Structure formats: C-alpha cells, structure tokens
Amino acid sequence: MTTTTTDTLWSELPSPVGPLLLTADTDGALTSLSVAGQKGGRAVQEEWRRDAGPFRAAVEQLAAYFAGELTEFRLPLRAEGTAFRERVWAALDDVPYGSTTTYGEIAARIGASRPAVRAVGGAIGANPLLILRPCHRVIGADGSLTGYAGGLERKTRLLALEGALPAPR
C-alpha cells in the first residue's frame, strides 16, 4: 500500500532530544519519527491532518523510554523502502537496548557481502523511524560514533540514556 500525503496524520511531541515529529497512516501505524534538522527528515505538509489520537501509545512509550523505564517499543510501524532497506531496518529492530552493533555486523546479519557495508550505512541513514527503530545503536567498527541522521549530539544522548556509550579505543 502506498501512502499519499492526504492520508498522513501527524503530531508533535517535546522530548529531551528536541521536538519529535510523528507521522502515521490512516490505520494508525507510525510511518516516521523525525527530529528538527534531521538529514532526510520529514516536515509537515499542508495536506497532512493533525490528529493526536493515533499517537497516544507512541507518546506514552516515548515518555517511558526517555524516563529510562522502557527498553522495547511495541508500536505498529509501517516504513516503506526497498527490500534491501527493509531487511536492514528489520535487523536494527534486533539490536537490544543498552547495546551497540556495527555497520559490518548489520551487513552480516542480513547476509550482505562485506562490500555492501556502505549500502547498509545508506539504508540505516534513511531510517524514517528514528529512536523507535534504533539506528542510534549502530557505531563504527573502531567504536566511533559515526553517522546519525539526527546528529551526533542526539546519538550520544540516546546512547548515554541507554547506558551504551562505547568505550574509547
């Protein structure tokens, strides 16, 4: 199913990492979570309809996450991408709270070749569901905090919240 902009519901939520823009389809499945200044993030469109109703569970779970009380989101998600991107995003869902993984490890999990690590990085960078689909838990092979569409400061804050900041090498 392809979602048109007239089928998009939206709401905003304040958070410790800045305002969050949430979008959902008319079935209530979340289609994006963006932060201000995000590379490739969404912005409210004139045709969208503001409606807080479909976001109640997301608001509650995000509040619990930022309070350190929730380690796993249980929300309906519907992100559309290529088959490759969807495999990468599904692999992100398996990275546990409080831990990190590398781009190479994600590539291996989906059966991608070593040269495909760059493509894996591109798919992770295109993740439309920041925080909910934990791309912030992916770090460089050397332990560095590389690449995060929401900005490295936010990535650092999210990893600190989860107690997952990698040790410097």
Just list the catalytic residues: 135
C-alpha angle 131/133/139, rounded to 5°? 80
Distance CA 71, CA 74 (A): 10
- Phi/psi for 27 (5° steps) reads -85, -5
- DSSP three-state, residue 89: helix
Q: Is 31 left (phi over 0), alpha (psi -120 to 50) or beta?
A: alpha
Strand ranges (E), the chain: 9-13, 20-24, 30-35, 49-50, 101-102, 138-139
Q: Is 131 left (phi over 0), alpha (psi -120 to 50) or beta?
A: left
